Amino acid sequence: MNPKESIKDLYDRKKELESLSLSLKNGERLVIVYGVRRVGKTSLIRAFLNERDFPYILLDMKEIYYVHGSVPIKALYNAVAKEFVRFIGKVGSEPGFDLSEDLGLTGLLKGINEWCRARKLTFIVALDESQYLRFGGKIRYDGIIAWGVDNLSNVTFILTGSEAGMLREFLRYEDTEAPLYGRFRNEIYLNRFTKEEGFGFLRRGFKESGKTISEKALEEVSRDLDGISGWLTYYGYYRTVEGMKHEDAIKQVFREGSQLTLKEIEKVISRSRKRYIYILKAIVDGLDTWGVIKAYVSSNAGSLSDTILNSLLQTLIKLGIVEKAADDRYMIPDPVAVYAIKRLKP
Ligand SMILES: Nc1ncnc2c1ncn2[C@@H]1O[C@H](COP(=O)(O)OP(=O)(O)OP(=O)(O)O)[C@@H](O)[C@H]1O
Ligand SMILES: [Mg+2]
């Protein structure tokens, strides 16, 4: 199901929209939006950008990566140039620099920055799933972004990522050696909906399609699907569009959702499949402390060193599949992923 395109279609997220607006108003140059899968990051950014008169570009780095097997700078250059040309065409203006030449991405951004500065505008470069920028080959995108942040007063970068740990690792802004070290940024965490928000989200959706949802159904949905916008959207769709009964709709979310989730998990674990599977199964079965996981994986998938177990766990955490709770126990935050993992075959 597609991300939302406009603020009127967006349920709530007022605080986050406000924070984005403030960043732009204050001329902040770097905004990072984190959030687990399917929580609504793309919807938030699209809805926000669609309401602006600013020129902007919104690109999905994951898509570019899947198309090219890397993130070629030419793909970014062409997309930015095309969008800028479209925007100046729309407002009936001239670029003021020679766009027929290949300026390189930084040259192009400089030109756009000047154009925007003369008009008191901001050009927004929104890069969705930007943890994929780490696949730039020789191109250091963190360096390019840092250069932009330092030099382009009228360009704001908005980076989002569903693999928060991966994105943080790419940005490395705590690492004194890294290009983005110490740069000011506005970090927005998009949380899953609370129980009340989830109720509001569903009630609104049902109302819009002229239907109602019982209190009991609301309680069960919030218990089973845990405020993740994407799953709530599926549930609402099955009920209101496909006319399913409550129980069937929930089952269908788990069935369909776990297919999606399994595909994502399979991609990640393929390199050390058996070990990953037993780690995930251990956590799902409540064998969720480090030592117990190690014993379980060793006895089912062969012995492994502490270093290897840590590295596998770290990868799962960076990808957001696993979380480590305050009491040092590991957990799987997405109920649909839990369902999927129970059905994973080693
Ligand atoms: N605030 C909202 N109001 C209404 N629908 C929403 C909202 N947030 C998300 N959705 C719906 O939830 C689904 C997932 O949203 P979206 O794709 O924006 O999430 P995401 O965080 O970008 O996910 P991913 O991690 O897969 O990229 C979409 O169908 C979208 O329409
Ligand atoms: Mg998204």
DSSP secondary structure of 329-345: -EE---HHHHHHHHT--
Residue 294 CB less than 6 A away from ligand 1: no
Among 174, 189, 204, residue at a domain's last position: 189
Mean pLDDT, the chain, whole residue set = 94
Atom of ligand 1 nearest to the CA of 38: 23
Under 8 Å between Cβ of 66 and 194: no
Say what percent of the chain tops pLDDT 70: 100
Query: In residues, how long is the chain?
Result: 346
Q: 3-class DSSP state for residue 256? A: helix
Q: Are residues 123 and 139 in the same domain?
A: yes
Reading the block at residue 331, the tokens are 């957990």
pLDDT tier for residue 1 given thresholds of 50, 70 and 90 = confident
pTM: 0.93
Reading the block at residue 267, the tokens are 């991609």
Ion ligand 2: residues, Cβ under 5 Å: 41-42
Q: Are residues 177 and 212 in the same domain?
A: no
Q: Which of 1, 2, 4 to mutate to test the pocket of ligand 1 (most atoms within 8 A of CB)?
A: 4
- C-alpha distances (whole Å) from 154 to each of 92, 116, 309 are 20, 6, 46
Among 145, 171, 189, residue at a domain's last position: 189
CB within 8 A of 282, min separation 6: which ones? 288, 292, 293, 296, 297
Q: Domain with 277 in it: what CATH number?
A: 1.10.10.10
The parent domain of residue 331 ranges over: 265-342
Domain membership of residue 332 (yes or no) is yes
Among 189, 211, 232, residue at a domain's last position: 189
For atom 25 of ligand 1, the residue with the nearest CA is: 37
CA–centroid distance, 247 to ligand 2, in Å, is 28
Atom of ligand 1 nearest to the CA of 35: 21
Q: What angle do CA 212, 218, 219 make, to 5 degrees?
A: 155
Q: Which of 13, 15, 42, 260 to mutate to test the pocket of ligand 1 (most atoms within 8 A of CB)?
A: 42
Report how far residue 216's alpha carbon sits from residue 136's, in angstroms, rounded to the nearest whole number: 49
Domain membership of residue 68 (yes or no) is yes
pLDDT of residue 7: 86
Report how far residue 40's alpha carbon sits from residue 10's, in angstroms, rounded to the nearest whole number: 9
Q: Are residues 125 and 215 in the same domain?
A: no
Q: Report pLDDT digits (tens) over 229-266.
A: 999 999 999 999 999 999 999 999 999 999 999 999 99
Q: Are residues 118 and 203 in the same domain?
A: no
Number of domain units in the chain? 3
Q: Are residues 295 and 224 in the same domain?
A: no
CA–centroid distance, 65 to ligand 2, in Å, is 15
Q: Report pLDDT digits (tens) over 282-331.
A: 999 999 999 999 999 999 999 999 999 999 999 999 999 999 999 999 99
